[in-house]
Structure 1
Amino acid sequence: MVRPQAAAALLAPLAVLGLAAPAAADPQTFFMFGDSYSDTGFVLGSGSPSAANPFGNPALPVPFSNNGPNWLKQLAVEYNSSEYIVWDLAKASATVDNDLVEVRSSVPSFTEQIEDLFLPNFGDRTASAYANWTDDAIFGVWFGINDATMSFTKADTAELYLEISDRYWSLVETLYVLGARRFFFNLVPALWLGPTGYSEEVRVREHDAIVRFNELVVERLVLFREAHPDVQTVYVDMSVLFEEMLRDYRTLGFATNDTYCEAYKAGTAAVDTWNSSCPYPVDKYFWLNDVHVTSTAHRYIAQAVALALEAIGLPTTFSAENATVGAGAIVAGDAPAGTSSAPLAAATGTATATARTAGAAASAAAALAKPFAKTFLVQS
């Protein structure tokens, strides 16, 4: 059942920076850079995307880092209103740059995803080794999960996050120089709310690190738009979206929001597997393990991104009228000329989450600042 506030629900986590574009012609080329949340198992050179399989390889459906299709697969297969050709260069455990934060040296970071995978194969958009692309191509970027969670215990992350931000945006700038004009960015989710077993003190530190990382993304995004008025950009505040999902977990069909089952944590054979050692089938859990979420949760991520893409002119089959989560989320960022961007507030558990919108680059970092809730979850 759609709640009365659903029309505004999933629009709330979106900050639209740019003017709407005309609907793109079929097929829609889509490049994705990221980590395990976005990794579909694609291997460049092992089969190219097509109408039969918009991801090229591996054959659908293949779960990766969860118990079923992730948000990107659900977006392209279920919420597309045109043919998607998805070149997913995201790799599990990836960071922005392995020289700054490294999970595994063998995993291509954002740096290698651009320099080693994208540039040699797609850098010349009119003479690509795999597929040519135009100004209508969509470029998705979702990094920071591993950067923040692998570094927040360090004594001082301020300088580190500035270096990461510089590297992140130099890579986005590379894409712009090559001709990319339509971007969407996903911010780091509220992983401090996950079933990590951390003490409250450690959770606070993780929260602060993620908030700061997200602030830098928003701050630099404002500067990027100021430098390039011809781009169309949108971002999804995944921390707000996760807070909303965890608060409204029962409405969304989850049985629990603060735990996971050991039998499921490495993934399952089916989206609704029920292991006898677990009190619920896997699709009734929000968390698959202490960092990743289930395919059911990925569905709501896909819906949020679908609305984000609608905002920059890419038609999808999902609309705000169908939204079932996000009513208390917050909008942050600078609005296009001639519009207003008023701050919104939302109750998250027993605490209130607020955001201040930034009207200029100098204050953009404050956009995602909000008081930290010591009550992390709504207890079942």
Structure 2
Amino acid sequence: MRFSVLVAAATVASATPVVKRQQAMSNPILHFFVFGDSYSSSGFNETSPAPTIAQPLGFPPLGTSPDDLLGNPLIANQTSSNGPIWPQFLTTRWNTSTTLLYDFAISGASIPDGYTDQALNIYEPKYSSLYAGDYGNMSMQIPVTNGSAGGGTLGMTWTGNTSIFASWIGINDINWCSLLFTRTPDVPFSSCLPPRLDEYFNLMDNLYITGARNFFFVNLPPLQRAPMVFEKGQKYVDNYAQGVELWNQHLLPQYIANFTASHPGVRSITYDAHTFFSTILDRPRVYGFRDNTCYSCIGCRNVTGCFWSNNYHPVWQVHDRLSRDMVANLTAVGWPGPQPIT
């Protein structure tokens, strides 16, 4: 997949290919913070148990083994994919070091609704440097426990170098600005979307202040190819395609470039989900899917070869492939291990 890396006052380290994830406790623990909408939401929230070495997802817990996410039906009940989602696959399978997942994503989130709540009301009060009373310090004092009954800490903390902040947002913002949902159809995407990105990157400023230095942004998939949109007709397909193109090709890259250039020490990478989705949707049978239009429903267990779990969300098999494809790009912002050999 195509991707771009922006570096401000930082260098990118190389890594050695691996065959399978290793639980190398001598390596730094990676803290993976995720913000987004239903494409990323796992059910984790402010009342969930914090991730531990024994339970790196926090909530929902692992399946029967660290590599068996499908062994826990609770995971499927909490996601939009009828199974695990990309942050869970990344955390448990596609890395070479212990990784703890803090998945703040909320189903239905947009900017500022939902997304602001994740950053200011869930992350900051409990997991940021503000919580530690150490405002602006790159070393965040979150105690990491070993999951034992006593809850003893291992004396480890996350820092700017041992954490990655991932953000996949904008899918619902396209909805609310589109002809399909907007109450003001005379307002174009070019007027509706920029204020949302202003809010978005104000929140990135907040994350930076709390110690975040490695940022992983995901652009928008081809939403016009989701059944919810194409079933409405060509007028809506064209409208969604216009909004996605403006977000992906013009707005998001410029905002990321400006943010990276103005924040010393930041490393930013943009993952091209649009190309990834398009590649599979163009040739679904090659990738093991029946076609690119069928879907069932979230919570159903009788999905047979469909790309879509419902009319707007991909199934877990797409998330599995997506996570594997992301790994090679994530190494540029510190992910422990490049693309696995399968």
Say if 2:249 is the partner of 1:247: no
1:291 to 300, 312, 321: 312
- Taking structure 1 as the reference length, what is the TM-score of the superposition? 0.71
Q: Using the alignment, how far apart are the partners of 2:253 and 2:99 within structure 1? A: 28
1:213 is matched with 247
Say if 2:162 is the partner of 1:140: no
Matches within 5 A, 1:79-98: 79-98=94-113
Q: How far does the alpha carbon of each residue in 1:24-59 deviate from its partner, in whole angstroms, 9 at most, with x for none? A: 942111111111111111133331212222111122
Matches within 5 A, 1:108-123: 109-123=114-128
| Contact 1:15-1:235 within 8 A present in 2 as well | yes
Question: Cα 1:85–1:118, aligned 2, differ >3 Å: closer, same or farther?
Answer: same
Q: Which runs of 5+ in 2 are unaligned?
A: 16-25, 63-71, 133-138, 145-156, 180-184
Question: Cα 1:110–1:128, aligned 2, differ >3 Å: closer, same or farther?
Answer: farther
Q: Using the alignment, how far apart are the partners of 2:120 and 2:93 within structure 1? A: 31
| Contact 2:95-2:335 within 8 A present in 1 as well | no
1:66 is matched with 81
1:158 is matched with 190
CA drift at 1:185: 0.4
| Contact 1:17-1:232 within 8 A present in 2 as well | yes
- Taking structure 2 as the reference length, what is the TM-score of the superposition? 0.78
Give the letter aligned to residue 145 of structure 1.
Answer: I
| Contact 1:71-1:301 within 8 A present in 2 as well | yes
- After superposing the two structures, state which structure 1 stretch, 111-120 or 123-132, moved more: 123-132
2:3 is matched with 14
| Contact 1:13-1:238 within 8 A present in 2 as well | no
2:68 is matched with none
Q: Using the alignment, how far apart are the partners of 1:33 and 1:225 within structure 2? A: 18
Give the letter aligned to residue 4 of structure 2.
Answer: A
Compute the RMSD of aligned alpha carbons: 2.0
2:66 is matched with none
Q: How far does the alpha carbon of each residue in 1:64-108 deviate from its partner, in whole angstroms, 9 at most, with x for none? A: 11211111111111112111111111111111212xxxxxxxxxx
1:312 to 309, 312, 333: 333
| Contact 1:283-1:294 within 8 A present in 2 as well | no
1:45 is matched with 47
**Secondary structure, counterpart of 1:257 in structure 2:** strand
Aligned residues with identical type, % of pairs: 29
Q: Which runs of 5+ in 1 are unaligned?
A: 1-11, 99-108, 275-281, 323-380
- After superposing the two structures, state which structure 1 stretch, 166-175 or 41-50, moved more: 41-50
| Contact 2:38-2:105 within 8 A present in 1 as well | yes
2:21 is matched with none
CA drift at 1:127: 6.2
